[in-house]
Chain A
């Protein structure tokens, strides 16, 4: 079953602009992760934020987590055409297996050159 909603479902921006994607989840979490998927192929892990963290940065990525609202956001700054992909948030890691992930519905990002 899906953990929650992501919005927007689709986002189209110009190169150089910032892209913000939001994710909501339903249950308590150990961490929340963001993954990227190009053209329906494999998922690539982008960033993990722990439940006791509020903000985390990695290169052009900034993730926030609000456990009181059960929500997270992913900001991609200075977007590039190569950032065009689908982005999924995921929670899980139950039972000691960190790959037991429940994914949000995803945001399809299109960055126009």
Chain B
């Protein structure tokens, strides 16, 4: 199984809503990532989890709150978002500590904030 599964595929939320994005992988990868991709732009790294601990936060606003409940799951909790947060949110995973290996990406959640 080389899949990273993200749910939901699409999400529309109001600025006062609280929602969560979910990501799951069963490849035994101990590094998991959240990326944000605006239209016609490349993905940009938001968070990195290594062995279920947050290792990198790329100065992301606190209205985005990541969580890694176990080695297979990664969540991104959303609260009080702004319309400019509308984007494709991509989850990825990779082997931790191994050089020269690839990252596996999910299909993304397309988020619209209204």
Chain A contacts to B: CB under 8 angstroms: 2, 30-31, 33, 35, 40-45, 48, 50, 88, 93, 95-106
Contacts and interface: CB of A to CB of B under 8 A. Distances in A.
Contacts of B17: none
Interface of B: 4, 31-33, 37, 39, 41-45, 48, 50, 55-56, 88, 90, 92-108, 110
3 interchain residue pairs of minimum CB distance: A103-B42, A99-B103, A99-B94
Contacts of A40: 37, 39, 88, 108, 110
Contacts, number: 87
B56 A95 contact: yes
A102 B45 contact: yes
Contact of B43 (A43, A50, A95): A43
A48 B98 CA distance: 14
Nearest to B104: A45
Contacts of B105: 35, 42-45
B52 to A, nearest CB: 13
Given A30-B99, A99-B31, A42 B108 contact: yes
15 contacts: A31-B99, A41-B107, A42-B106, A42-B107, A45-B103, A96-B31, A96-B97, A97-B50, A97-B96, A98-B95, A99-B31, A99-B94, A101-B43, A103-B43, A103-B44
Given A43-B105, A103-B42, A105-B42, A30 B100 contact: yes
Contacts of B55: 95, 97
Contacts of B44: 103
Contacts of B43: 43, 88, 101, 103
A112 B98 CA distance: 39
A91 B93 CA distance: 15
Contact of A98 (B31, B41, B107): B31
A96 B90 contact: no
